Structure 1
Amino acid sequence: MFSGAQVALYPMTDDFVRVILGSLSALDPYRSRFRIETDDLSTLLVGPPPDLFPALRDLHVAASRGGLHCVMHATVSRGCPGEPDDPICTPIEGRTAETPLSERVEAALEAVQSAAPTGQDVAAQLSLYPLGASHHMDEIYGCIDLMKRSGVFGRAKNFCTTLRGDAGPVFATLGEAFLRFGSPEGHVAMDLTVSANSPSPA
């Protein structure tokens, strides 16, 4: 399997270079498990699917500390048929293609409820794309069910769903959406925007 994210940070400050480069140190605990490459546009994270969203959470919280308005945009993917398998991208454990949707939703809710708070509130907007599955709408509706019951559901919007709350359960919900829906061996993509400390909350 190949799994990873292209992620970019947008801190709303003249001191954006220091904020971006300084926040990358939040990825240090993940470097032994990930391939991490940063260029002038984004940072690539390639590694095991269960660790992707904890890494994204820690990166965004680090960039947003002190009340700074910071936006993160990420394109997250697993199982892309156009990418070679990578041994650091371990398979998803604990589920098969036969695991019923209802069981996956309940397991995801359990994981979200056990997420530790970070003390940083965020708002997130996501779209999930379980590609190549004839039953993709069932998977999307299951994901929406998870988000509505997660405790951090904001509202449904055109083409996406909004989550709001502490970064701990919000990123846990995002991670469970990425892991639990779509085929465990199939191609799943997510488009994600996360904002902290906005001066104009909805």
Structure 2
Amino acid sequence: MNKSAIKELSSDALEVALDSNLGSGILRDIPIFGSAVKVAELTMSIRDRFFLKKLGCFIYQLDELSKKDKDAVLSFSKTDDSEKVANKIIQVIDNVTDVEKTELIGKLFAAYCKRSIDKPSFLRAVDTVQHYFLDDINNFISIDNIHLFTFYDLESRKVDMLVGSQLIKEQYIKQNELIRMGYDSSELDITYFEDSQFGRIFREALKY
């Protein structure tokens, strides 16, 4: 990206990210990233400027990685999956309306390249970031563990809108087990919730 285009975006984070060696490496080694930038630079419409800003935030997350993790990202560019995964990332970055969501996508991508999250979970996680409200996602990430949460508990932690997503599931526990745990009769017929397995993977990938 040329300097004039970066300045028009008025984003220091974007300038650092796209000027960094890692950013240049990704744009060079995964063709679809470079192609997307070139197309956006040709027109520089409002939509394209916003896209470049979001892409810059995505790359900035990768620039913060250790050298070992950067090498993992660059190794990804040589895999058979690189074009398909990169195409998915570009499509989602283009569609999201919150710049902050691209930071989460960058973290997920880094986790995928480090093999701390597998491909199906990564693609599912990217879709989750795209389709759910950013504050709900951040609130979910901030919770250490959802276990025996009532709907009221979910509301108080502001993650109740994620019920029905793949992150949270109903927790099935026998009444005699609840009694053994000290629950009284008024609490036995309440619906309880917990993290899904995917929810735990999702949080772990984005926690730090």
Q: Same fold (TM over 0.5)?
A: no
Max Rg structure:
2
TM-score bucket (shorter structure): under 0.3
Q: Which has the higher helix share?
A: 2
Q: Which has the higher strand share?
A: 1
TM-score by length of 2: 0.23
TM-score by length of 1: 0.23
